[in-house]
Structure 1
């Protein structure tokens, strides 16, 4: 399924993720009172929190931890490399491949199957992403959590 995400330029990064029909499907809400960056991905229809993503405060490289129903399911961090930025998604066995800095990359499972294909739209006022998620391969909310965690790790490196 194809989704669209347009991040607003604001102090608090709350925004929605839309489907092909321009309908809000998920809402991303940054937590206001937390140590480090933290946000929830919520189902717009039910209002239920689906995924929580939190910054790991004491780590060598910027790391975001992802929780599903309160259980830690994955960590996203940058690998230490000399020439190219590489990211790893621990616990899920996923690999991030492509041009991450341009936000044109894929997330693949351990068998090489594409879980998601992410593309940034240029010539937009805000960060605008289009991504296709293979819903048969993974929970779309979990994939969105991983995509957002990669984006936040990149932001932390720039700060």
Structure 2
């Protein structure tokens, strides 16, 4: 009768290792929402805004590409000072906001000025999740969503 508890203990132990070895909790689960580009006043630069919601493990936005511009850069704005960034952390079970007055994309030397109603193809490149393709609608120059804050 001693074998049954031992076998049961070994089975529970094995199951525990299987669950921890899986590692699926560390995988980011990204969803991009609220993407838009305000119609630019000038013809050679445009800004982009969006929110990355992450219901999984942490990730990093490493770069952005788009047919609209050969050079798309990442910027932060703090205290009214804009600064180019190499990457942005996407927190585990959190959100990364790119919104007016804060983090944003800069499409530099745009090939053709985007007009309200257009859709711009954008690829967001993440360290773990890979490439996420998003269609950014071009909105009125004054468009500002009420809030992209995570829910």
Is the shorter-chain TM-score for this pair beyond 0.5, marking a shared fold? Answer: no
Q: Taking CA–CA contacts closer than 8 Å with sequence separation of 6 or more, which of the two structures ends up with the larger relative contact order?
A: 2
TM-score by length of 1: 0.24
Structure with max Cα Rg? 2
